[in-house]
Amino acid sequence: MVGAFSTLLNLSLFVLLRQATGVQVANALALLLSAIANTAANRRLTFGVRGRIRAARHQTQGLLVFGIGLVLTSGSLAALDIADPQAGRSTEAAVLVVANLAATVLRFVLFRSWVFSDCDARFEDARAGDYRADTGQPADYRDDMNRPADHQPEDDRSGDDTTGTTDTAFPYDGERTTAS
């Protein structure tokens, strides 16, 4: 579903941009914009990753995958130009659709095997009940005020600490806080 939407978005952007720019510029811009949307949609809808954790890394890897798709689609359009320098815009669009379909398959394979490969084990665990599939947090995780009683921060203000602060590590959120 995400791939089909991305292909339609790419084609629509290409047709729109092609009216104002050359074929390669229109292709690059359309592919870049649709690749950013595609990575975000695949991240959330296909691979179930939510939140900002590793989002920048996923988008960076997605841009590298975009580069491979750009080479594929630009190469196809360049080959069309060599084969038929007078090709019409409908022919350009048809070549772009075929090249983009190939790029979509390649993109999905790279997303599954590289970009989001670290997410698979967590979601297998989520199906087994160890993690919540909606947040990726441990199944017994409760945020802020709803922490399990055995994981509530201790208010240690007994004065035994010479620095005047108490470090409390919260086991579920991976953060270290300082209470004063």
pLDDT at 161: 47
Q: pLDDT value at position 51?
A: 80
DSSP secondary structure string, 132-160? -TTT-SBTT---GGG--GGGPPP---SS-
In this prediction, the residues of the chain whose per-residue pLDDT falls under 70 are 120-180
What are phi and psi for residue 173, nearest 5 degrees? -105, 0
pTM: predicted TM-score of the whole model, two decimal places: 0.60
End-to-end CA distance of the chain: 51
Query: How do residues 106-128 score in pLDDT, each as one tens digit?
Result: 988 988 888 888 775 444 444 44
Segments making up each domain of the chain, as ranges = 2-126
Separation of alpha carbons 135 and 49, rounded Å: 8
- The per-residue pLDDT for 140 is 54
Residue 166: strand pairing partners:
179
Give pLDDT, residue 163: 47
Q: What is the pLDDT of residues 22-52, one digit of tens each?
A: 999 999 999 999 988 888 888 888 888 888 8
